[in-house]
Amino acid sequence: MAAMASSTFFFFLLCLTVTAKKTYIVHMKHQDKPLSFETHNDWYSSSLQSLTATPAESLLYSYNAAFHGFAASLDPEQAEALSKSDSVLGVYEDTVYNLHTTRTPQFLGLDAESGLWAGHNTQQLEQASRDVIIGVLDTGVWPESKSFDDSGMPEVPAKWRGECESAPDFNPKFCNRKLIGARSFSKGYRMASGGGGIYKKPGEIQSPRDKDGHGTHTASTAAGSHVANASLLGYASGTARGMATHARVAAYKVCWETGCFGSDILAGMERAIEDGVDVLSLSLGGGSAPYFRDTIAIGAFTAMEKGIFVSCSAGNSGPTKATLANVAPWIMTVGAGTLDRDFPAYAVLGNKIRYNGVSLYSGRGMGKNPVGLVYSKGNSSGSNLCLTGSLDPALVRGKVVLCDRGTTARVEKGAVVRDAGGVGMILANTEASGEELVADSHLLPAVAVGRKVGDLIREYARSEPNPTAALVFGGTVLDIKPSPVVAAFSSRGPNMVTPQILKPDVIGPGVNILAAWSEAIGPTGLAKDSRKTMFNIMSGTSMSCPHISGLAALIKAAHPEWSPSAIKSALMTTAYTQDNTNSTLRDAADGSLSNPWAHGAGHVDPQKALSPGLVYDISTEEYITFLCSLGYTVDHVKTIVKRPNITCSTKFKDPGELNYPSFSVLFGGKRVVRYTRELTNVGPARSIYKVTVNGPSTVGISVRPKTLIFRSVGEKKRYTVTFVAKRGTSPMAKPEFGSIVWGNAQNQVKSPVSFSWSLM
């Protein structure tokens, strides 16, 4: 009996040990490796030997490029003990990041035959882009998609060092001259899912194959080949293509069922850097954190140092202010806007009023005869939101159900209505989502409407004794005005990590985007959706990010000598802030005028970005000076920079002194803020630019000199801008916005400016 009690206690302790283990990312002093160890990996394993009986199993990843250190499975006591070592700079618990879940090329002007790249045509640009490789960190790839067809593609660039890994459901032969790499990274995910491979969830095969759809969608948006007659079940029919149709794609699967773990992301970034990618695209993110605690920012810094452009989604937490992700200045932070294409649908009520909405429903319609309309009926408190189990079949069978948007996925609400016997759904926005309409491929006839229309339909359903409705579907409509409009879901500034850096940087197309899809899952992503489609329409900053990744690849092809910051500058300073009605960009949340906290420098314009005239370039040393200005310890700066000899002897008085293509002026207790910027001439020799400033009445703006003369290509010129807050302006004054433009007959090099008197 005692032996049994003893073994039970031992088993209890063992369970405690297993359940208490977590993944930690350990930052090491790279240069401290003793000569007795042949590799850093050997040293890291040895560091774990004194802490755990199974160091080989505990060591998940060893990082050398994107980060100096390793990821290990440890309990909190072991992590604490490790942090006390002199060779350890920091020990951080693994972070979970989330995905920020065709007409685009034409809308962006990429189908034009000439004038795209000064002195060259589209064909020449496409040819140049064959040497550019885009690495996509996401949910993997569906390699059989026609978007990854390699017809007409030359041999893989000689610089490529990557590979396609083998898995039970993934043959390396699926890769070709278009899809040149596919890898997966799951140790962090598996550890979090219950202690490594032994406890791996059934069905989650370690493989680059995309079972979610998101990764295939983003990869094909960035660089998908031309595919004729593409559509989502008949919607958005036409030729689908990515931004850089001749660039190569490498897929790095770092996202799994429960999210994207920082340790896996860092491993994916490290491998992509070593493989030889030119552009990194990450449509994922978490909350904002100091850069030394931000896995993506740390990996992106190394990528930038090696000349790799990094594009990340800004997040889908708008229109709430200060909700941005991925705000490091060496990252391109991308918000979302609409296209000039829509998918109209209509709700016709019993009072004969027809309300406009949108839908991607493609099955049999309801017919023209109205049926009963139900809203918030029954005893369940969640029936207005159509939550699972909240609808009474006796009340909704054979009727259209009005559901409030929020809490659960939009398509999930339709499934709940269908399962309860409803024949249709009107999905009505609330104040949180405002007037923004996102079309979905619903499982039953369904129409999404904005808040104002939603309120009118709610009132009708409540007040009418026998309310009825019929739903009508209008297919695909082009040339929608106004467009683009800033998506309400697109995350907003100000930047809370570094308020002196204006974010987001730009917006790109991110609403109702058609791109390739995984055939392992239906278009709604719901388990009960048995439909299969080669293309899907999705919305999110996840969709806008790969647009910019693909455009960066085109600029890299046109200007291979440009740094990532020069490419970013070109995309920012040529962005536009007027829609197709020649009015200032609007915000879908409430129809009001947008501002740089929502749209950054504006909506990307690839034609102009290829020939921007001037660029704001930033060296690695300048970024280090910036980091030293943030009040971080030297060890924290070393975490990001990965150089042993950092002393921070040089720093800016104000982080806003970084040579950034936009300005974020934070007065705080000061009345005067002065910044000097440097412009590099990438246009013709003997170019003259004059400055124009635009700002609120509460701020005086002066620029010296007012004219810049560039005698040669590559010449650099400085200017100083002084911002003076008018006396008597309240510290609680609302933020204001303006711009600084250097222009001539050929180019307008525009920088947005935000003015804040206090942090928030």
Q: Which residues are catalytic?
A: 138, 214, 542
Q: What 3-state DSSP class applies to 400?
A: strand
Q: How are strands ordered across the β-sheet holding 687-694? A: 663-666, 748-756, 736-743, 687-694, 707-710
The vertex-62 CA angle with 59 and 64, nearest 5°, equals 165
DSSP letter assigned to residue 732? T
User: What's the token pair of residue 554?
Assistant: 């085109």
DSSP letter assigned to residue 584? B
**Residue located via tokens 């970024």:** 623
CA-to-CA separations, 204 to 200, 211, 255, 433, in angstroms, rounded: 7, 9, 11, 34
CB-based contacts of 183: which residues, under 8 Å, 6+ apart?
162, 163, 164, 165, 208, 250, 251, 252, 253, 268, 271
Are residues 316 and 511 in contact, defined by beta-carbon separation less than 8 angstroms?
no
Are residues 457 and 426 in contact, defined by beta-carbon separation less than 8 angstroms?
yes
Task: Measure the CA–CA gap between 22 and 17, rounded to whole angstroms.
Answer: 10
User: What's the token pair of residue 574?
Assistant: 């040529």
From the DSSP assignment, how many helices (H) and strands (E) are in the chain? 19, 37
Are residues 207 and 169 in contact, defined by beta-carbon separation less than 8 angstroms?
yes
Q: How many CB atoms lie within 10 A of CB 480?
A: 15
Half-sphere exposure of 140 (CA within 13 A, CB side): 29
Q: What 3-state DSSP class applies to 386?
A: coil
Q: How far apart are the first and last CA of the chain?
A: 65
* Helix H or strand E segment including 710: strand 707-710
The single-letter code of the amino acid at 710 is F
CA-to-CA separations, 340 to 236, 313, 482, in angstroms, rounded: 12, 21, 8
Phi then psi for residue 586, to 5 deg, are -110, 165
Helix H, strand E, coil C: the string for 123-188 is HHHHHHHHHCEEEEEECCECCCCHHHCCCCCCCCCCCCCCCECCECCECHHHCCCCEEEEEECCHH
**Residue located via tokens 């919607």:** 235
Are residues 359 and 448 in contact, defined by beta-carbon separation less than 8 angstroms?
yes
Q: How are strands ordered across the β-sheet holding 22-28? A: 59-63, 69-74, 22-28, 88-93
| Cα dihedral 6→12→16→18 (10° resolution) | 100
Task: Measure the CA–CA gap between 141 and 209, rounded to whole angstroms.
Answer: 5
User: What's the token pair of residue 130?
Assistant: 């064959």
Task: Measure the CA–CA gap between 142 and 149, rounded to whole angstroms.
Answer: 12
**Full DSSP string of 255-280:** EETTEEEHHHHHHHHHHHHHHT-SEE
- Cα 668 to chain centroid distance, Å, stands at 31
Q: Is the dihedral of CA 636, 637, 642, 646 positive or negative?
A: negative
Residues in the chain: 760
Task: Measure the CA–CA gap between 319 and 567, rounded to whole angstroms.
Answer: 28
Task: Measure the CA–CA gap between 382 and 370, rounded to whole angstroms.
Answer: 25
Task: Measure the CA–CA gap between 495 and 338, rounded to whole angstroms.
Answer: 23
